[in-house]
Each structure stands twice: as C-alpha cells, then as structure tokens.
C-alpha cells in the first residue's frame, strides 16, 4: 500500500526532499519519516538498484528516481533538501557536493569519518549560509526522553554513572560492507552504534574529558570491530560506560543510571525501529507509545516504581529540519555536539591501540 504524501501545515509551501540512498537506512529510517511530516515531500530518491527503485516507486507514487547523484545534481534546483544515507565513507563528499549545489543537507550518522572532515563541512555550510544537520534519531527514543525528564526533574539526584548498551546476538556475520569492510571505510560497530551511544551521553552529561576503550573483532569473516566498550569521563564528573556488541547471548539493561538519590533501569529497545521495519506509518495514533510492562523502574532496591515512558518521536527530527530550512529555526541537532562525538571515537581508537586513557 502506498504512503500518502504529507500536507503542509497552515497552508505553507512544501519543501521537496531528495533522498540519496535507498538501502535499509533510506527505506526504513528516512523515507517514512520524511513523508509523514507536514510540510515535507519525498520528491526524489537516488538508487542504482532496480529492486530498490521499484520499491520506492511503489510506496511513493510520483517520486522521481535517479540512478546516480550526477543526475540529481543536474536537477538540484527542484529540491530544497538532500538527505545522505549511503555507506559511511561517502557521507562527507556527498554532503559537500549537495551543499555546493544549493541544497540544505541532512547527513545520516556518522556525520563524517573524522572530526576534521566534520569541521570542514560545518565551515562550508556557514560560508554558504546553508542548513546542515545530522540524523541522530536516538535523541527521540522513548527511553532516552524518559531519562532526560527524570534527570531534569532531579529524580535521581546527582548522576555519577550512566550505563548504556546496544547489544545483539548475531554470531554469524553478514556479507555487508558494515561487517566485511575495514575501519578506513567506516565499517564496524564503533562507527555504526557508537555515534548513538556517545551522542546520548554527551547530550545528558556534557563534554567528555577522557576516554578509555576496549575494541575487539570476535567473529570470523568480520574485518572491523564487533565488540566495543567505552568508559567516558565527562568534564562535570559523571562517568559513562557504553557497550555495543554483536556477540551478546544475554543482553544487559538498555540503561542503568545511578544517582545519589536513586537509580533508573530500563530493558529492551525503543519500538520505533521495529515498527518502521515492519512498514508501519510513523503518523499512527499510537506511534511511540510504550506498553506498561516495558516501562523502566525508578528508585532504590526495596522501594521502586515503574515510570511511564515518554512517547518515542522520530518524526520530531524531520519537523525540526523543516522548521530550520523553511523558517530559520535552530537546527534539530547542533553540529558541535556531533563533532565532539567524532573526537570521542578518534580518542577511543587511540586508547584501544595503546591500552591507555586518552585525554581530549
């Protein structure tokens, strides 16, 4: 069944979006959200894959499908926004080209492979007076929004340790660039899941002062990291312990957050990804709602209670993009935080190589 296009709020003009890449990232994480936000229209897709072309045309009737970016650049005056969701090592060059054609740009994570690349893109966007932002959708996970609210309310007191995990059981490697590629191409979990976990930690507890990392490749047929642990010491004193792994037979809690007045623990993943993967529309009435049995637990052992989860809201990112491009509102994701996250990734790699704590 085709997705109906969004309609502009308050009768305003639609902003036309060109989506570069229609793999899982484009098909699952971007196209449905773009199409569900009033004021945005998914007008173009770039893919050279015939099956993906047919899938895009079937789900979004009227969409223009380009076989390569050269043809999109030639038509760039038809579009206000380009979204880059391609293999990681192409993010920075494609974002630069899109900015130079005059489009606002959304880049999927990781923003770039190095902090230096990210700074160059940021400087270029400033010089061209163009919107540039990064898709950090996990800022709109229900569990993260709930934790943010608890910290703001002071329910935990002063947080001294933040534990966060993205753990999976995938003992057999897949023949994808993320697993068969090397670190130099942006493959591996540190570039795949690291930007999410690091970004959430920085958002909650501020800049990172030092990093200790353990980075391993455990499965056969994998050429990049598939098991990572990071210990971040934030400048304000909180310590973040972050795990990401493809070889976890029993998962730990998604969050365990310890404060001097209590703790918060929640298990399982935000459900928005699963629903997007299943083809559901993100403007459903119950989108982002978390069942009571999946709510997190707040308090002290012997005196705990379940806390209602905030609604997950991935569409809020693209609503922010619309407002930044169309109305000059602030970016939904500030680039300086994302650049700092890349500095953390670079420091983590140095730490793992040397077995030492690296100061930023």
Residue range 314-343, pLDDT digits in tens: 999 999 999 999 999 999 999 999 999 999
Pairing relationship of beta strands 255-259 and 15-20 according to DSSP bridges:
unpaired
pLDDT (mean) for 181-189: 88
* Structure-token match 């919107």, residue found: 131
User: What pLDDT score was predicted for residue 10?
Assistant: 42
Q: Could you give the CA distance from residue 344 to residue 360 in angstroms, rounded to a whole number?
A: 8
Say how far apart CA 301 and CA 68 lie, in whole Å: 57
Q: Residue 151 above 50 pLDDT?
A: yes
Relative to beta strand 81-84, strand 15-20 is parallel
**For range 132-152, the mean pLDDT:** 98
pLDDT in tens, 46-65: 999 999 999 999 999 999 99
Angle between helices 115-128 and 335-354 (to 10 degrees): 170
Q: How far apart are CA 215 and CA 1, in angstroms?
A: 43
The SS3 of residue 180 is helix
- Beta-strand relationship, 40-46 and 64-66: parallel
Residue whose entry in the numeric block shows the structure tokens 């898709």: 135
Q: Which H/E stretch holds residue 40?
A: strand 40-46
Q: Is 212 helix (H, G, I), strand (E, B) or coil?
A: strand
Say if CB 31 and CB 276 are below 8 A apart. Answer: no
Q: For 65-101, how does the pLDDT look when each residue is reduced to its tens digit (9 = 90+)?
A: 999 999 999 999 999 999 999 999 999 999 999 999 9
Q: Is the pLDDT of residue 9 over 60?
A: no
How far apart CA 13 and CA 39 sit, in angstroms, is 7
CATH for 15-135 (2.40.110.20, 3.30.230.30, 3.30.70.250, 3.40.50.720)? 3.40.50.720
Report the C-alpha gap between 163 and 197 in whole angstroms. 10
How many alpha carbons lie under 13 Å from residue 62 in its C-beta half-sphere? 9
CA–CA dist 309, 266 (Å, integer): 10
Instruction: With cut-offs at 50, 70 and 90, classify the pLDDT of residue 1.
Output: very low
| pTM tops 0.75, yes or no | yes
Mean pLDDT of 2-11: 51
> Where are the extended beta strands (E) located within 136-204?
159-167
Check whether 176 has a pLDDT greater than 90. Answer: no
d(CA 160, CA 166): 21
Torsion of Cα atoms, 204 then 194 then 242 then 199, to 10°: 0
Instruction: Output the CA–CA distances (angstroms, integers) from residue 288 to 209, 282, 312, in the order listed.
Output: 34, 8, 4
- In CATH, what is the architecture of 139-312+331-359? 2-Layer Sandwich (3.30)
Segments making up each domain of the chain, as ranges: 15-135, 139-312+331-359
Q: What does the block give as tokens for 219?
A: 């499965």
Report the side by side order of strands in the sheet with 296-300. Answer: 303-307, 296-300, 263-266, 255-259, 159-167, 239-245, 227-234, 208-216, 358-359
């Amino acid at each position: 069944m085709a997705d109906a296009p969004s309609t502009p709020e308050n009768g305003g003009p639609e902003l036309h979006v060109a989506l570069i890449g229609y793999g899982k990232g484009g098909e699952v994480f971007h196209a449905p959200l773009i199409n569900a936000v009033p004021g945005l229209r998914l007008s173009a897709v770039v893919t050279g894959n015939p099956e993906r072309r047919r899938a895009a045309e079937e789900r979004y009737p009227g969409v223009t499908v380009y076989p390569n970016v050269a043809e999109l650049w030639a038509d760039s005056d038809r579009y206000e926004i380009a979204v880059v969701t391609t293999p990681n090592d192409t993010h920075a060059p494609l974002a630069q080209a899109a900015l130079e054609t005059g489009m606002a740009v959304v880049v999927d994570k990781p923003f770039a492979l190095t902090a230096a690349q990210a700074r160059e893109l940021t400087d270029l966007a400033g010089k061209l007076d163009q919107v540039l932002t990064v898709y950090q959708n996990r800022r709109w996970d229900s569990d993260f929004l709930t934790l943010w609210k608890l910290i703001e309310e002071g329910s935990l007191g002063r947080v001294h340790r933040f534990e966060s995990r993205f753990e999976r059981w995938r003992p057999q490697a897949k023949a994808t660039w993320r697993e068969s590629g090397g670190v130099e191409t942006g493959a591996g979990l540190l570039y795949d899941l690291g930007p999410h976990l690091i970004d959430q930690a920085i958002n909650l507890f501020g800049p990172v002062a030092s990093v200790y990392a353990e980075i391993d490749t455990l499965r056969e047929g994998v050429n990049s990291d598939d098991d990572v642990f990071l210990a971040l010491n934030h400048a304000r004193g909180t310590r973040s312990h972050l795990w990401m792994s493809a070889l976890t037979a029993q998962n730990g809690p998604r969050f365990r957050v310890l404060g001097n007045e209590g703790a918060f623990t929640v298990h399982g993943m935000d459900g928005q990804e699963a629903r997007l993967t299943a083809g559901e529309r993100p403007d459903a009435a119950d989108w982002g709602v978390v069942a009571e049995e999946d709510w997190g637990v707040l308090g002290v052992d012997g005196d705990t209670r379940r806390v209602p989860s905030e609604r997950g809201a991935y569409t809020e990112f693209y609503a922010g993009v619309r407002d930044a491009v169309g109305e000059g509102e602030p970016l939904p994701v500030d680039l300086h935080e994302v650049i700092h996250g890349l500095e953390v990734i670079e420091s983590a790699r140095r730490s793992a190589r040397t077995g030492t704590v690296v100061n930023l």
